[in-house]
Amino acid sequence: MNFHLKRALFTLLLSAFLSTSVALGQERFTVTIEGKDGYLKSFQKRAELKLARSTKFCRGFTMPKMISQWKCVPTGEGMRKCSAKAKCGLINKVFSRTTETRRLREELKKIGYTRHKFPMIVSKKPLVTPHRSRYVDEIQRRRENERVAEERSLRKRIKERTQKAKAELTEYDEFAQLEKELDIETKKSTPAERRDALDEFSKVTLAEDRKQLEGNVEGVAPFVLERQTNNSGDEEVIRIKRRDDRIPEDRTIQLLSFSTALTSIGDSAGNSVATVDVAWTPRWQFSPSLAARGRVGGHFYSVEIVEGEDPETFLIYDVAGELEWFPFEDSGWYATGSLGIQSWASTTGGAFSMVSVGAGYQFNFSQAKVFDRVFFNYSTVGNEEGNSELKLGVGITF
């Protein structure tokens, strides 16, 4: 291979390596927390776990990686401030969000988890994410158009580089001819060797361009690239998939939310009846672990209002406010508690206080279509008969 071509290839590879190293070096940042002495170990592991799960600070095939030990200084009586260095490290088989999350959870179990809150400051600014639309197909088409445009641009750049390499080979031939005419001894290369050099040059530049393209696609917050191999095992299939680790903005406030439940009603006199309850239940998710839900519903009830007379069937409707608590971040299980007022539309009438507790399971937002949850609820009514209600139902959201 010609000396000039070798030097050009070496310079190109060295520039690519140095630019990659500088880019990764620029991704270094500082993480700072503060808390009481007795909880610092737990706070440090929780901070590392938050970084491992976060997609706000690193792009493409990188994720936050701790590169120094925690250093702490006292800030007050029983309080310390701790800092550690981190960077965007490349993901591999032994360093990924799955492996790091699993490792840090095990270490946190050994240390002991505390629910005390602590401040956490990251010196690196979060990455800017594009607008998240509910229409996934439309976004996928737009990403596909961008990918096609990028591929065309890549082909154009590859063609220009190939032409430049051919021009350099032509220049090499001219110098070789001149050396021959001047009777200078030089090392000759065959056409096959020159062709192999050109193919290797194109392969390296194409790999760099593809890596840059994949990094741009994986940096889009609501989506990730998913790679699969077809049945024959000789072709890799790449498709865009919506992330499941966040709540879409269009599901944070749900006005068109309803529920229906099979309800069993009983009282202190031993009366019991089964009925169906229907309610409008608008919901607001104001944090990853807490949500508020309103309730306006009703059901029919049949009971003997006046002793000795026939049972009377009438409507019972209620208005209540409910709080949902999700104790496990990676699970849809939640507990509920609510306060409300229940009104009886019987001949005697009356309005009574109502207290409810329960539990349920919230389906994944990206998988649920219409039925988004199942729940169990137990309510007590503050009337003389001591009514209680047991509900088993499903939630519907449009």
pLDDT tens readout for residues 265-280? 888 877 788 999 999 9
Q: What is the model's pLDDT at position 205?
A: 66
Strand partners, 87: 65
Q: What is the model's pLDDT at position 133?
A: 43
Token pair recorded at residue 99? 């492996």
Q: What are phi and psi of 143, to 5 degrees?
A: -65, -40
Domain assignments of the chain as residue spans, ordered by start:
25-122, 134-242, 249-397
Query: Rounded distance, CA 379 to CA 265, Å?
Result: 10
Query: Rounded distance, CA 253 to CA 246, Å?
Result: 14
Confidence category of residue 20, pLDDT binned at 50, 70, 90: very low
Q: What is the model's pLDDT at position 21?
A: 42
Who wins on pLDDT, 273 or 393?
A: 393
Confidence category of residue 325, pLDDT binned at 50, 70, 90: very high
Confidence category of residue 19, pLDDT binned at 50, 70, 90: very low
Query: Rounded distance, CA 51 to CA 85, Å?
Result: 12
Segment (H or E) for 204: helix 191-218
The answer to whether 281 and 310 have CB atoms below 8 angstroms apart is no
Q: What is the model's pLDDT at position 23?
A: 46
Total residues found in the chain within this entry: 398
The answer to whether 268 and 249 have CB atoms below 8 angstroms apart is no
Query: Rounded distance, CA 132 to CA 254, Å?
Result: 16
Q: How far, CA to CA in Å, does 271 sit from each of 36, 181, 266, 268, 380?
A: 56, 116, 5, 7, 15
Domain 25-122 classification at class level:
alpha beta
Burial letters 171-198, b for 16+ CB under 10 A, else e = ebeeebeeeeeeeeeeeebeeeebeebb
Query: Rounded distance, CA 221 to CA 162, Å?
Result: 35
Confidence category of residue 206, pLDDT binned at 50, 70, 90: low
Q: What is the model's pLDDT at position 311?
A: 77
Query: Rounded distance, CA 119 to CA 1, Å?
Result: 59
Q: Which single residue is written with the structure tokens 């940042």? A: 29
Segment (H or E) for 86: strand 79-90
pLDDT in tens, 89-133: 999 989 999 999 999 999 999 988 888 889 999 988 887 654 444
Confidence category of residue 162, pLDDT binned at 50, 70, 90: confident
pLDDT beyond 80 at 40: yes
CB within 8 A of 67, min separation 6: which ones? 28, 85, 86, 87
Other C-beta atoms within 10 Å of 349: how many? 9
Q: What is the model's pLDDT at position 220?
A: 46
Mean pLDDT, residues 245-258: 70
Ramachandran class of 239: left when φ > 0, alpha when ψ lies in -120 to 50, beta otherwise: beta
pLDDT in tens, 56-89: 888 778 999 999 999 999 988 889 999 999 999 9
- Closest by alpha carbon to 58, among 106, 18, 98, 96? 96
Mean pLDDT (the chain) is 79
Query: Rounded distance, CA 226 to CA 237, Å?
Result: 8
CATH architecture designation of domain 249-397: Beta Barrel (2.40)
Mean pLDDT, residues 124-144: 67
Query: Rounded distance, CA 316 to CA 342, Å?
Result: 7
Burial letters 45-70, b for 16+ CB under 10 A, else e = bbbbbbbbbebbbbbbbbbbbbeeeb
To 10 degrees, the CA torsion angle through 49, 52, 54, 59?
A: 170
135-139, 209-213, 231-235, 284-288 — which one is most confidently predicted on average?
284-288
Who wins on pLDDT, 322 or 25?
A: 322
Mean pLDDT, residues 230-236: 60
Q: What is the model's pLDDT at position 332?
A: 85
Q: Lowest mean pLDDT: which of 139-148, 201-210, 217-226, 300-309? A: 217-226
- Closest by alpha carbon to 84, among 33, 38, 46, 119? 33
Please report, in angstroms and rounded to a whole number, the separation of the first and last CA atoms in the chain. Answer: 67
Query: Rounded distance, CA 75 to CA 81, Å?
Result: 6
CB within 8 A of 174, min separation 6: which ones? none
Confidence category of residue 385, pLDDT binned at 50, 70, 90: confident
